[in-house]
């Protein structure tokens, strides 16, 4: 039997896990330094290679590009702070990274006349070589970062930094046209003519960008700290219950309303309520003007915030094509099961057992069922009184790519029901409304199916039995092999009855002889 056939039989549409392969292991503890116009950041990635977690993440707001348009040089105070930060990052990396740091610098360093001198000073003082990338490459890497979280996605990636804004087209998992521009807060604050002058500059620049990019009416992906700050403010305005920026969605109407909200509120009060730094908040009024203009110009059908950008794009660059093609959600869940579950591998068996309950489900639902089965036992160390809530909290707030907010809530509810019959009475009830009642019920069925299936926990190669679900007859039938009958005790019987009740079905048990 060849490897491809074996993978198909073992794992179905989800594919064999890859994170233990040498090509994937080589991506662990990868350190990246991003020297931006506004901030300097160290990120160390680890975990499942296709859906890496942030093992370490530290940012220093240096404002290297502040005043660059007038002086032509890096901000002196920012330059000193950046050098100090990089010294610290290099020292940390020697202790926690498995290889050398990779460092990139963007608009401020590439445009400043003392940019080469700064890079030479960093190399001399720390031994770290900074790769200064041009705007086209910055756009490409940011777009690849989006592809790390949304494999196969399509649309327009808009990455805003302190001194530049990049646009890149993505389709079929590849980066297409791309362009760079000076539409960024540190540049806009130096434009003469006040608000009227800035508006004219923004519109003139967008005219040129549109000539290159053409019509872009698909999804708009927002990358960059200023966009994330605006998203936080939008959440505050709406009273949105799930404070996870990645995959947060906004509409053109919402962005217009948030622009008004920003103008009408005291910046310091708004900053404190939304958890935005003072340095970042100072740039928000300029960034919101750009965002409104970009949305008016390109008229995207959907707007999504991406926490993944240039740093994740650099990691994506190192991935072999078979790994790039994998589902980041499934790979992350597999990694969690292998690391934390009491019986790694049982998730696959549990998925096969409860799969008959979802015979008519589409692929997007089945991947959530698969993810839930892989995660069903990773929180067993939590105190029993809080285990259900820990599961919900982990699912909704974890660093997972390829997962919409509604899907986070579905997954969280399913895992909550893995440990708890009722979903009422938790501190998360405000989030439930992100999915409708029918979907909440589906999550309950999945959770109770896992809750029952976990009672038949055994060797991964053993026969758990078979579920048959006949919705038209309203019957849920359990076929138990003789060897599993002893596991079907009083608690298991009660959980099977609870699952049947969630399906509004009659529970039927048949023991095979």
Q: Domain with 87 in it: what CATH number?
A: 3.30.420.40
Domain co-membership, 79 together with 223: no
Domain co-membership, 398 together with 299: no
Provide the token pair at 39.
């901030």
Determine the Cα–Cα distance for residues 369 and 367; give it in Å rounded to an integer: 5
Predicted confidence at residue 53, as pLDDT, reads 83
Domain co-membership, 372 together with 456: yes
Domain co-membership, 159 together with 267: yes
Inside any domain, residue 1? no
Count of CA atoms in the C-beta half-sphere (13 A) of 178: 22
Predicted confidence at residue 10, as pLDDT, reads 47
Q: What DSSP line would sit under 327-381, residue for residue?
A: -HHHHHHHHHHHHH-SSTTHHHHHHHHHGGGGTT--HHHHHHHHHHHHHTTTTTT
Inside any domain, residue 233? yes
Inside any domain, residue 489? no
Inside any domain, residue 491? no
Domain co-membership, 288 together with 400: no
CA distances for 83 relative to 64, 88, 186, 200, 388, angstroms: 11, 9, 20, 36, 46
**Boundary of a domain, candidates 267, 290, 312:** 312
Domain co-membership, 78 together with 35: yes
Determine the Cα–Cα distance for residues 462 and 489; give it in Å rounded to an integer: 18
Domain co-membership, 227 together with 331: no
φ/ψ of 468, rounded to 5, equals -125, 125
Predicted confidence at residue 387, as pLDDT, reads 94
Query: Is the Cβ–Cβ distance between 406 and 438 less than 8 Å?
Result: no
- The CATH number assigned to the domain holding 192 equals 3.30.420.150
Domain co-membership, 52 together with 150: no
Rounded to the nearest angstrom, the gap between the alpha carbon of residue 50 and the centroid of all alpha carbons in its chain is 12
**Boundary of a domain, candidates 263, 284, 312:** 312
What single DSSP character describes residue 224?
S
**Boundary of a domain, candidates 114, 132, 150:** 132
Segments forming the whole domain that contains residue 396: 326-460
Inside any domain, residue 490? no
Domain co-membership, 124 together with 38: yes
Count of CA atoms in the C-beta half-sphere (13 A) of 293: 21
Block means of pLDDT (10 residues each) for the chain, length 513 residues? 37 45 63 94 85 90 93 96 97 90 94 97 96 95 93 93 95 93 94 94 97 92 96 98 95 97 96 94 96 97 94 87 88 91 92 95 95 96 93 90 93 97 93 96 98 84 87 95 86 96 96 80
Inside any domain, residue 178? yes
Domain co-membership, 125 together with 171: no
Burial status of residue 22 (CB atoms within 10 A of its CB: 0-12, 13-18, 19 or more) = exposed
Predicted confidence at residue 11, as pLDDT, reads 45
Q: How many Å from the N-terminal Cα to the C-terminal Cα in the chain?
A: 33
Domain total of the chain: 3
Query: Is the Cβ–Cβ distance between 375 and 333 less than 8 Å?
Result: yes
pTM: 0.89
Closest to 191 in 3D by CA, of 63, 107, 69: 69
Predicted confidence at residue 8, as pLDDT, reads 37
Determine the Cα–Cα distance for residues 408 and 240; give it in Å rounded to an integer: 14
Inside any domain, residue 110? yes
Determine the Cα–Cα distance for residues 222 and 245; give it in Å rounded to an integer: 11
Q: What DSSP line would sit under 257-274, residue for residue?
A: HHHHHHHHS-HHHHHHHH
Specify the residue for token string 């947060």: 248
Domain co-membership, 285 together with 352: no
- The CATH number assigned to the domain holding 430 equals 1.10.3210.10
Inside any domain, residue 426? yes
Domain co-membership, 333 together with 411: yes
């Amino acid at each position: 039997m060849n490897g491809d056939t074996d993978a198909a039989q073992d794992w179905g549409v989800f594919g064999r896990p890859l994170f233990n392969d040498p090509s994937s292991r080589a991506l662990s503890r990868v350190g990246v330094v991003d020297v931006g116009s506004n901030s300097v950041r160290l990120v160390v990635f680890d975990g499942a290679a296709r859906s890496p977690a942030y093992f370490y993440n530290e940012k220093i707001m240096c404002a290297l590009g502040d005043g660059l348009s007038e002086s032509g040089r890096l901000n002196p105070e920012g330059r000193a702070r950046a050098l100090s930060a990089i010294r610290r990052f290099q020292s940390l990396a020697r202790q926690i990274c498995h290889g050398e740091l990779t460092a990139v610098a963007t608009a401020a360093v590439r445009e400043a006349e003392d940019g080469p001198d700064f890079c030479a000073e960093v190399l001399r003082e720390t031994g770290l070589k900074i790769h200064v990338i041009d705007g086209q490459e910055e756009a490409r890497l940011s777009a690849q970062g989006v592809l790390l979280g949304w494999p196969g996605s399509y649309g327009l990636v808009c990455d805003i930094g302190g001194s530049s804004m990049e646009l890149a087209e993505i389709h079929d998992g590849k980066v297409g046209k791309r362009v760079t521009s000076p539409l960024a807060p540190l540049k806009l604050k130096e434009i003469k003519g006040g608000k009227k002058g800035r508006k004219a500059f923004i519109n003139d620049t967008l005219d040129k960008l549109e000539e290159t990019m053409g019509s872009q009416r698909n999804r708009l992906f927002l990358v960059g700290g200023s966009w994330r700050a605006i998203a936080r403010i939008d959440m505050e305005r709406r009273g949105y219950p799930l404070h996870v920026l990645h995959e947060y969605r906004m509409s053109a109407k919402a962005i217009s309303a948030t622009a008004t909200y920003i103008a009408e509120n005291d910046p310091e009060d708004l900053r404190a309520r939304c958890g935005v730094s003072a340095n970042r908040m100072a740039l928000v009024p300029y960034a919101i003007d750009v965002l409104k203009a970009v949305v008016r110009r390109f008229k995207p059908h959907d707007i999504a915030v991406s926490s993944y950008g240039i740093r994740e794009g650099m990691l994506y660059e190192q991935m072999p094509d078979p790994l790039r093609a994998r589902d980041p959600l499934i790979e992350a869940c597999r990694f969690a099961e292998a690391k934390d579950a009491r019986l790694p591998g049982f998730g696959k068996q549990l998925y096969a057992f409860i799969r008959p309950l979802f015979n008519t489900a589409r692929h997007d639902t089945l991947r959530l069922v698969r993810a839930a089965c892989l995660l069903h036992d990773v929180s067993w160390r939590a105190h029993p009184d809080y285990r259900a809530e820990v599961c919900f909290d982990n699912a909704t707030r974890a660093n997972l790519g390829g997962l919409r907010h509604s899907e986070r809530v579905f997954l969280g509810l399913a895992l909550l029901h893995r440990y708890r019959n009722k979903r009422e009475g938790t501190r998360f009830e405000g989030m439930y409304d992100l999915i409708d009642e029918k979907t909440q019920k589906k999550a309950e069925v999945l959770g109770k199916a896992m809750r029952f299936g976990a009672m038949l926990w055994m060797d991964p190669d053993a026969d758990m039995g078979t579920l048959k679900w006949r919705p038209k007859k309203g019957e849920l039938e359990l076929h138990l092999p003789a060897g599993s009958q002893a596991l079907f005790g009083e608690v298991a019987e009660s959980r099977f009855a609870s699952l049947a009740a969630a399906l509004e079905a009659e529970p039927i048990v048949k023991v095979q002889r």
